[in-house]
């Protein structure tokens, strides 16, 4: 691999990653379909193609492990798609474990580590055990009066599909279609599209009876359950002639059976016809892995551009800088107007508005590029669900809604681990055993719902199960055992507080540590990781009915609207996503409750926190005369009033992370440029709420509940 550039290697890995994800997606769809008792040949085909492409790529990059693994898998998938093997749950298990093995191999290859992988050996062993396929059954195709020429050029795959369709007692039709050479690609697609509603097109071949130089005639072999009349109604046209292929009277009359490799000698359909193909893959036994095939499969994947997210960050930084230029622009226009040059000022303002509009478009464009559907991470989770449910012998129905909800790519990357922990917990602790479910009259299969939706500037993700719910007394008992809670305080805890205990480190309601999620690591890490993304997590649970965990996340990390505030002499930005309202502070209405300042807001008590005191800011000169404000920040169900000295208004900001030497400083999400070269700190509302409400709102007597 020495002569291959780093960039090409990088491309190779991300492409391989993409292909593996596609493969995983196909397998999941196959799994779902097979449990519903149906079977979609195109899924097997796609899986086959994915593995085949991967093999080709691996060959190009000298990744031999990847290559040999793919080769073996390809054989298995080939046997499946040609009907030599039946897709069983065991086979699917092996295929799923292949996805995991692929990921491990990729990781090692990427790190350049040449180390043997037990996963791969195990996989190869399993592939061996699946062994050679079921022997061929006798062909019922001979019952039809086939044109021997047509039968002879079928690929093994097409022959298999033909056989399957005939076995299902479908009728066979021949569609003779005239195509204009200039538009054949599109026209063929269209007819295939329409035909798909009525059956399957098994193959198509040029008849060789061309009537003019710029047209071509194809025979399409189609299987359908519909009658000839229906098909003529649906597909008939001036250039389409449909005939039924008659069944023979005597079924035992032997038809010439197509020799497997005879297609070598037969004329291949012309290239433009095949290029537009998308339904049955044109992978012929003879050109598998050949240069033609490799070239085509590589080309088909280059319609998207993969971009390092840091490059997008860089672009976003430039947008931020341009916004500062924009500000200077409008100030100059203002000055020119004040100097009396109205005409010039008007022109400048027009330019400024234009610039402003384009800049927002650019900002939106960059943001859009960063957004990816949550489906990416949900698919990975579906695999986890399948795996865990098989490990624990619990039948699980996974219901996903809102997979199309979009969120910042960086957030998606960080979400899969926390969500995986939550789902493991839900299946292990939440869903009861089948016997128990039967006793309480619940359906056999437990349901895990994964819902995502957008709510204003936030994305909500819910993980919901219909299991036993959280046993509050067990949680409390465990917390007391671990010394996180004094027994005397138990009575004072609100229901919500008790549920919040599951986020304490080391807490688990299981006594044994040998099951999937019973080690009690997990929920505290989940909470920390979600917190790092600026999100919060809430729990609702009903005993006997189920548990619902709701994650609230900001939609993007790159750019946010913020409220600019001042406390003493220092200016801060507070992301608007966490601000619910702002009001002026009437010092006379501040009460002290349990050692903390509170105000009454529309009949409910709002704890307030003076930013200058919390951050220990130096007194500014106007301290005594000014009028204060309260900014109400809310996350999930928690609210806190931040008392500040001045509100400047709203501004879009690009949040930049603080450097390493400031990584332990709590309360700030980063910093941002406010114009005039000045930098303002961005307050981390979630951390402040956490610090104020969880850290010290707990009355001192209840200090036994340890946090963090």
Residues that bind other proteins (CB under 8 A): 317-318, 320-321, 570, 615-617, 656-662, 664-668, 670-671, 673, 676-681
Phi-psi region at 26: left, alpha or beta (left = phi > 0; alpha = psi -120 to 50): alpha
- Quick one: 687 exposed, middle or buried, by C-beta within 10 A (0-12, 13-18, 19+)? middle
Distance (Å, whole) CA 58 – CA 61: 5
For the bound state, the minimum distance from the C-beta of residue 654 to other proteins, rounded and expressed in Å, comes to 9
Report the alpha-carbon distance of residue 549 to residue 541 in Å, rounded. Answer: 8
User: Nearer to other proteins by C-beta: 8 or 665?
Assistant: 665
Closer of 545 and 662 to other proteins (Cβ): 662
- Rounded least distance, CB 614 to other proteins, Å: 9
Q: How far is the CB of 567 from other proteins (least distance, A)?
A: 10
Which residues make Cβ contacts (< 8 Å) with residue 198, sequence separation at least 6? 222, 224, 225, 226, 230, 231, 234, 235
Residue (107 or 321) nearer to other proteins, CB = 321
CB 687 → other proteins: shortest distance, Å? 11
Give the tokens for residue 285.
């036994």
Query: Which residues, in sequence order, are CB contacts of 663 under 8 Å at separation 6+?
Result: none
Q: Which is nearer to other proteins, 266 or 679 (CB)?
A: 679
Smallest distance, Å, CB 130 to other proteins?
48
Q: Closest separation between CB of residue 656 and other proteins, Å? A: 4
User: Which residue number, 124 or 324, has a Cβ lying nearer to other proteins?
Assistant: 324
From the CB of 573, what's the least distance to other proteins, in Å? Answer: 11
Q: How far is the CB of 606 from other proteins (least distance, A)?
A: 23
Residue number, 46 or 691, with CB nearest to other proteins = 691
Burial of residue 1 (number of CB atoms within 10 Å: 0-12, 13-18, 19+): exposed
Complex with other proteins: residue 125 or 708, whichever CB lies closer: 708
CA 470 to CA 464: how far, in whole Å? Answer: 12
Distances (CA, A) of 517 to 380, 413, 511, 633, 702: 18, 22, 11, 34, 30
Tell me how far, at minimum, the Cβ of 660 lies from other proteins, in Å: 6
3-state secondary structure of 400: strand
User: Could you tell me if 611 and 617 are in contact, meaning their C-beta atoms sit under 8 angstroms apart?
Assistant: yes
Residue 317 vs 550, nearer CB to other proteins: 317
Strands 668-675 and 678-683: antiparallel
- Cα(436)–Cα(329) distance, rounded to whole angstroms? 70
Q: Which helix (H) or strand (E) holds 3?
A: none
Residue 319 to residue 369: CA distance in whole angstroms: 14
Of 260 and 679, which has the nearer Cβ to other proteins?
Answer: 679
């Amino acid at each position: 691999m020495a002569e291959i550039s780093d960039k090409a290697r990088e491309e190779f890995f991300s492409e391989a990653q993409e292909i593996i994800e596609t493969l995983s997606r196909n397998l999941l769809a196959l799994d779902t379909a097979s449990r519903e008792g149906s079977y979609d040949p195109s899924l097997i085909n796609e899986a086959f193609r994915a593995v085949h492409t991967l093999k080709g790529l691996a060959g190009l990059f000298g990744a031999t492990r990847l290559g040999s693994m793919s080769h073996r898998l390809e054989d298995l998938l080939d046997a499946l798609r040609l009907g030599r093997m039946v897709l069983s749950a065991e086979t699917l298990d092996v295929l799923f474990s292949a996805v995991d093995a692929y990921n491990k191999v990729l990781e090692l290859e990427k790190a350049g580590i040449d180390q043997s992988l037990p996963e791969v050996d195990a996989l190869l062993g399993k592939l061996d055990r699946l062994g050679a396929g079921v022997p061929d059954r006798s062909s019922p195709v001979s019952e039809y009066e086939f044109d021997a020429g047509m039968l002879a050029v079928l690929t093994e795959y097409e022959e298999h599909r033909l056989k399957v369709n005939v076995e299902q007692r479908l009728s066979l039709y021949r569609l003779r279609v005239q195509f204009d050479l200039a538009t054949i690609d599109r026209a063929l697609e269209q007819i295939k599209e329409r035909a798909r509603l009525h059956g399957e097109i098994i193959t198509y071949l040029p008849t060789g009876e061309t009537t003019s130089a710029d047209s071509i005639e194809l025979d399409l072999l189609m299987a359908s359950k519909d009658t000839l009349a229906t098909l003529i109604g649906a597909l008939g046209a001036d250039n389409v002639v449909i005939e039924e292929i008659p069944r023979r009277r005597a079924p035992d009359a032997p038809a010439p059976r197509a020799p497997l490799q005879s297609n070598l000698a037969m004329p291949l359909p012309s290239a433009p016809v095949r290029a537009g193909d998308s339904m049955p893959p044109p992978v012929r036994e003879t050109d598998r892995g050949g240069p033609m095939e490799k070239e085509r499969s590589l080309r088909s994947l280059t319609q998207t551009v993969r971009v390092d997210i840091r490059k997008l960050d860089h672009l976003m930084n430039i947008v931020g800088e341009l916004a500062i230029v924009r500000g200077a622009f409008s100030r100059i226009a203002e000055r020119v107007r004040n100097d009396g040059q109205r005409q010039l000022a008007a022109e400048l303002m027009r330019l400024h508005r234009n610039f402003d509009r384009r800049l927002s478009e650019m900002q939106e464009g960059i943001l859009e590029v960063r957004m990816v559907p949550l489906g990416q991470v949900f698919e990975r989770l579906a695999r986890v669900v399948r795996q865990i449910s098989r490990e624990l012998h619990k039948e699980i129905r996974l219901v996903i809604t809102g997979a199309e909800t979009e969120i910042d790519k960086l957030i998606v990357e960080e979400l899969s681990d926390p969500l995986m922990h939550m789902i493991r917990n839900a299946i292990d602790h939440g869903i009861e055993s089948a016997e128990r479910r039967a006793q309480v009259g619940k359906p056999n299969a437990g349901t895990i719902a994964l819902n995502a939706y957008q709510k204003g500037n936030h994305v909500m993700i819910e993980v919901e199960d219909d299991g036993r719910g959280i046993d509050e007394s067990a949680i409390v008992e465990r917390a007391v055992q671990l010394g996180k809670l004094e027994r005397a305080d138990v009575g004072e805890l609100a229901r919500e507080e008790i549920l919040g205990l599951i986020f304490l480190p080391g807490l688990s309601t299981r006594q044994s540590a040998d099951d999937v999620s019973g080690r009690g690591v997990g929920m505290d890490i989940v909470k920390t990781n979600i917190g790092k993304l600026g999100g919060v997590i809430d729990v609702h649970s009903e005993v006997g009915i189920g548990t619902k965990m709701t994650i609230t996340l900001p939609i993007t990390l790159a750019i946010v609207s913020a409220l600019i505030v001042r406390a003493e002499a220092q200016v801060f930005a507070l992301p608007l996503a966490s601000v619910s309202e702002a009001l002026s502070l009437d010092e006379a209405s501040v009460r002290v409750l349990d050692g903390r300042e509170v105000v009454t807001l529309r009949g409910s008590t709002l704890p307030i926190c003076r930013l200058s005191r919390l951050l220990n800011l130096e007194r500014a000169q106007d301290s005594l005369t000014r009028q204060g404000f309260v900014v109400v920040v809310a996350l999930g169900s928690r609210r806190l009033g931040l008392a500040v000295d001045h509100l400047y208004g709203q501004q879009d900001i690009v949040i930049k992370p603080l450097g390493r030497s400031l990584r332990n400083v709590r309360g700030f999400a980063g910093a941002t440029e406010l114009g005039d070269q000045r930098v303002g700190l961005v307050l981390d509302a979630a951390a402040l709420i956490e610090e104020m409400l969880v850290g010290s709102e707990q009355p001192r007597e209840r200090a036994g509940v340890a946090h963090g």
